[in-house]
Amino acid sequence: MSAQQFPTHDIELSQRPIGYFVHHHGHGHAKRCQAIAHQLYPRPVTIFCAIPEIFSSLPENAEVIQIPDFHGKQARSEQLHKEPTCLALDCAPVGVSAIRGTGGIIAAWLARKDPALFVVDVSAELALLGRICSVPVVKIRMHGDRQDAAHQAAYSACAAMLAPFSELLEQDDWPDHLRKRTFYTGGLIDTREAIPSKAEARQKLSLPDTQQIFVVVAGNGGVGIPIAPVTLAARAYPDALWLTVGKSVRYGHETDFSNLVDVGWVDNVNDYLAAADLVVATPGDTLTHEIARIGRPLICIPEWCYYDEQTCKARALAAKNLAVYSPTWPGSFAQWRTLVDKAYQCNVANQSQLVDNDAASRAAKFLEDLIQKLWRNSAPDELIAGIVYDQC
- pLDDT of 392 over the 70 cut: no
Query: Which of 20-29, 71-80, 154-163 is the most confident on average?
Result: 154-163
Q: How far is CA 334 from CA 131, 179, 236, 253, in A?
A: 52, 40, 8, 21
Q: Give residue-wise pLDDT tens across range 199-222.
A: 999 999 999 999 999 999 998 778
The reported pLDDT for the residue numbered 9 is 46
Taking the CA atoms of residue 346, residue 350, residue 353 and residue 357 in that order, the dihedral angle to the nearest 10 degrees is 100
pLDDT exceeds 60 at position 388: no
Please determine, for residue 249, whether its predicted confidence score (pLDDT) is greater than 90. Answer: yes
* Mean local confidence (pLDDT), 25-33: 87
Alpha-carbon gap, residue 228 to 253, rounded angstroms: 8
Q: What is the pLDDT of residue 190?
A: 79
Residue 24, classed as helix, strand or coil, is: coil
Q: What is the pLDDT of residue 248?
A: 94
Give the pLDDT band (50/70/90) at residue 389.
Answer: low
Q: Give the tens place of pLDDT for each residue, 319-344.
A: 999 999 999 999 999 999 999 999 99
20's enclosing H/E stretch is strand 18-22
| pLDDT tens for each residue of 281-299 | 999 999 999 999 999 999 9
DSSP state, 281?
E
CA distance 156 to 143: 17
pLDDT surpassing 90 at residue 237: yes
Report residue 161 CA to chain centroid gap. 14
* More confident call, 391 vs 340: 340
pTM of the model: 0.92
Q: Kindly report the backbone phi and psi dihedral angles of residue 390, in degrees, each rounded to the nearest multiple of 5, phi listed first.
A: -85, 125
Whether 176 has a pLDDT exceeding 90, the answer reads yes
Residue (of 159, 151, 150) closest to 115 by Cα position: 159
